[in-house]
Amino acid sequence: MFKGEVVNIRTIIFGDEKKPVLVLIHGYGASGPTFGILAKKLCEHFCFITIDIIGMGSSSRPKDYDWNKFTPEQSNEYFVEYLEKWRESMGNHFLRSGEEREFTQFYLAGHSFGGYISAQYALKYHRHIKKLLLISPIGVNPRTPEERTNVYERFKRRA
C-alpha cells in the first residue's frame, strides 16, 4: 500500500541472495526482463534484481500520477519515492538468520531513463547505495566543450 493504493513493482530476482545485490532499472518504455540475457553472467558475482519502473512493464499504473499536472521536480520525486518504498519493502524479502533486516548497501544501476531515476534516487538516499552505475543515462550532459573534456580526462585516468 502506497499513498492509499495497492501497488506492485514487478521484481525479478536472479541468483544467490547471499551474494552482493545489484539492482538494475530499465529505460523508458522497457521492462526488467530486457536485461534477462545478462542474468547468467551477473549471477556469478551478484544477486541480480531487475525491477519495472512504476507505470511501466508489469508494474502498477497508479491513479495518483497525472503527467499533465506534475512539474518535472514533482515527477522526479514521484519516481524516487516509489523506488524508496520498494527498497523498504525488500527488507521483508531478504531475511538473514531468521531476522528481518534493512535492504541497504546494494549496487544500483540504471539504463537511460532508469539511469536518470537512479541518479535522482542516489542524490536523496545515497546512504542505501554501495555504488551507483549509470548506463547511458538521460539528463547527464556536460554543457561546454571544456566540461566534456574534463569528464573524459577523469574517466581516462581511471581506465
With both helix axes pointing from N to C terminus, report the angle between 113-125 and 72-93 in degrees, rounded to the nearest 10: 80
In the chain, domain spans: 11-158
Q: Which long-range contacts (CB under 8 A, 24 or more apart) does 134-142 make?
A: 134/109, 134/110, 135/109, 135/110, 135/111, 136/111, 136/112, 137/110, 137/111, 137/112, 138/27, 138/28, 138/112, 138/113, 140/115, 140/116
For residues 82-107, average pLDDT: 79
Using a pLDDT cut of 90, give the percent of the chain over it. 45
DSSP E strand stretches across 15-156? 21-25, 47-51, 95-96, 99-100, 106-111, 129-135
- With a cut of 80, say whether residue 131 has pLDDT above it: yes
CATH topology assigned to domain 11-158:
Rossmann fold (3.40.50)
pLDDT, one tens digit per residue, over 24-73 is 999 988 888 888 888 999 999 999 999 999 888 888 888 887 778 888 88
pLDDT at 97: 45
CB of 100 closer than 8 Å to CB of 77: no
